[in-house]
Amino acid sequence: MSDDRLSAGRALLWLFGAALLVFLIAPIIVVVITSFNATPYLAFPPQALSLRWYRNFFQSAHWIDPALLSLRVALVAMAGATVLGSFAAIGLARGRFRGKRGLELFLVSPMVVPIVVMALGLYFLFSPLHLLGTPAALYLGHTVIATPLVMVIVLSGLRSTDPAAELAARSLGANYWRALWHVLIPAIRPAILSAAAFAFLVSFDEVVLAIFLGGPDATTLPKRMWESIRFEIDPTLTAISSLLTLLVLLILGCAELARSLQRRASRG
Amino acid sequence: MTEPRRGGLGLWRRGRRVWRPREGLLVLPALVFYILVYLYPLTRLLAWSFFDPGPTLKFYGALLAEPAYLKALSNTLEISVAATVLSLVLGYPLAYLMATSGARARSLLMALILIPFWTSILVRSFAWIVILGNNGIVNRTLLSLGLVSRPAKLLFDMTGVQIGMVHVLLPFMVFPLYGVMSRIDPNLLRVARSLGAPPRRAFAKVFLPLSLPGVAAGCVLVFLLAIGFYVTPALLGGAGEITLATMIDMMVNTLLNWGFAATLGVVLLAVVGVIFVLFSRLLGLHRLTAVGEEGAR
């Protein structure tokens, strides 16, 4: 009797969970399907299928130029955040110094500072330096927001490593940098790679800093999308949305791969 | 040769000149970068809010006197509290389901949460515009079922903002909840049941209290993110849903009132800062960073 009720409750719970997942996933699926529509207005389900909005994205400078700028910014921010964040994570995990907790708090705090406030601060910083409207403003801003994420991911990768391996290397005569480069970093390489991939994604999708700091001259893809959503709703947005979702799937796939590599690596 | 020094940066040891950086020094590049491009600009905001060009409190005075500002503040709080409560009510059962399912179901559920979690917030807001608009699938379904006679207004008002925000914030509630729940020993529930507690009572007396740290972490985190939200209220809200964040944008990009923008920024930053520090003191920073880890699985 009570088992029956338990399984009935369980079924209800699954029903609820399924409905919630539909709520989470369905909007994305609707947009992806709409992107194959042939008509010049948004229609779901599509009346006729075509790839015209994808063609439009790749062929019009209005869209592809911002996409190329986003790619450039994301690559720079990824490189900067991965180097700064990985070293900071190693320093926090292996270093022994006072105020470490406070420092860690400070280094992850950009994750919770409202992005609008950050954008405002950087706006005031870059304005007298004549950096507003240049890609450099976005390189710097995006590196700040991507670094804490890299740090958190690499720190969690470091937790599965054994400091004894570096000590062994050092006792065999390797200096600190050699031990770092040849022992520790290879051990956490999967974590660093997946952190880099997420840093790329965070920068590539970032819109608020792009709006505040980009000006008319440095328009990234999200900024162009933002303008289009607000003022004209171009159906090309649906094609771009699908492509951005595809990017997420690729990166999640890579992260999953990295995770299984990390597991294998730490198992020995 | 100079006298060998001990300690310091650890560059000198036993009289030999050896480069032996302490591991902690690896934090330095990030620290310097943060001070220049993060801490310094935020402290400059403070200066902007207190000077015009001489010292003044007029911006803060205006905050308290101006009804438009108070409206933005109450909107922000209302939206954030509602988003937090909704995320908890919806997220708790989902996290419970994940924590009590087998490994296969668990990773399926996790994947289905991670895909929208990492999808661009612009894409998701745009998706809601497509779905909830007058010609969207929801309104056409309602019309064809005869439930409404003309398209229901689901966008550019509070409904749209709440739907969009819960969609973004739900994973931030589910991850900390799931993190705590998955560490609750299922044997405890079995013991309670074997001692005669009906399932509901076992849940209320054993599982629920043990999951409360996750509830606290999730609620604080979601609230913290919600009060700074900009993209969703700006795209899915109407003129009545002005929040602190959208007001900052208006001050900078339309009204060119930088002093007031900086003041709003300082207020927002102060609220977030206090909650963040209390949160990490009471619950531990790891509960916050766990979201990043969980999200990057």
Segment B133-147 shows an average pLDDT of 85
Q: In one letter, which amino acid is B3? A: E
Supply the mean pLDDT for chain B.
Answer: 85
CB pair distance less than 8 Å for A90 and B38: no
Of A168-177, A259-268, B248-257, B261-270, highest mean pLDDT: B261-270
B11: closest chain A residue by CA: A176
User: For B230, which of A83, A115, A240 is closest by C-beta distance?
Assistant: A115
User: Among 3.30.479.30, 3.30.420.40, 1.10.3720.10, 3.30.70.260, what is the CATH number of B57-295?
Assistant: 1.10.3720.10
The answer on pLDDT for B121 being more than 90 is yes
Cα A175–Cα A180–Cα A181 angle in degrees, nearest 5: 100
Instruction: Give the model confidence (pLDDT) of B208-235 as tens digits.
Output: 999 999 999 999 999 999 999 999 999 9
The answer on pLDDT for B290 being more than 80 is no
Kindly give, in sequence order, each residue whose CB lies less than 8 Å from that of residue B191, ignoring residues fewer than 6 positions away: none
Residues 99-158 of A with CB under 8 A from B: 100-101, 103-118, 120-125, 140-141, 143-144, 147-149, 151-153, 155-156
The answer on pLDDT for B237 being more than 50 is yes
pLDDT top residue among B176 and B294? B176
pLDDT top residue among B245 and B283? B245
Identify the residue whose tokens are 């790749």.
A58
Q: In one letter, which amino acid is A129? A: L
Of A70-84, B64-78, B264-278, highest mean pLDDT: A70-84
The pLDDT of residue A3 is 53
CB pair distance less than 8 Å for A94 and B94: no
CB pair distance less than 8 Å for B21 and A176: yes
First to last CA, chain B: 53
Identify the burial level of B181 via C-beta atoms within 10 angstroms of its C-beta, where 0-12 means exposed, 13-18 middle and 19 or more buried.
buried
d(CA B290, CA B106): 17
CB pair distance less than 8 Å for B42 and A118: yes
Q: Check: CB of residue B26 under 8 Å from CB of residue A90.
A: yes
Domain boundaries of chain B, sorted by first residue: 57-295
pLDDT band at B293 (very low <50, low <70, confident <90, very high): low
* Contact A261/B at CB under 8 A: no
Q: 3-state class of A97 per DSSP? A: coil
Q: 3-state class of B51 per DSSP? A: strand
Segment B22-37 shows an average pLDDT of 90
Q: What is the pTM for the complete model shown?
A: 0.90
Segment B272-296 shows an average pLDDT of 77
**Alpha-carbon dihedral angle through residues B13, B15, B16, B22, given to the nearest 10 degrees:** 10
Give the ipTM. Answer: 0.90
Nearest alpha carbon to residue A77 among A132, A148, A127: A148
Q: Check: CB of residue A114 under 8 Å from CB of residue B268.
A: yes
CB pair distance less than 8 Å for B248 and A117: yes
The answer on pLDDT for B111 being more than 50 is yes
The answer on pLDDT for B12 being more than 50 is no
Architecture of the structural domain at A60-267: Orthogonal Bundle (1.10)
The answer on pLDDT for B144 being more than 50 is yes
Q: How many helices (H) and strands (E) does chain B have?
A: 15, 2
Query: Which residues of B are less than 8 Å from A104 in CB distance?
Result: 285
* Contact A213/B at CB under 8 A: no
Pull the structure tokens for residue B51: 């000077």
Domain boundaries of chain A, sorted by first residue: 60-267
Instruction: Give the model confidence (pLDDT) of A222-249 as tens digits.
Output: 999 999 998 878 889 999 999 999 999 9
User: For B127, which of A30, A114, A211 is closest by C-beta distance?
Assistant: A30
CA-to-CA separations, A193 to A165, A188, B93, B212, B286, in angstroms, rounded: 21, 9, 34, 34, 22
Kindly give, in sequence order, each residue whose CB lies less than 8 Å from that of residue B238, ignoring residues fewer than 6 positions away: B156, B157
Q: Which residues of chain A have pLDDT under 70?
A: 1-6, 265-268
d(CA B18, CA A72): 40
The pLDDT of residue A86 is 96
pLDDT band at B6 (very low <50, low <70, confident <90, very high): very low
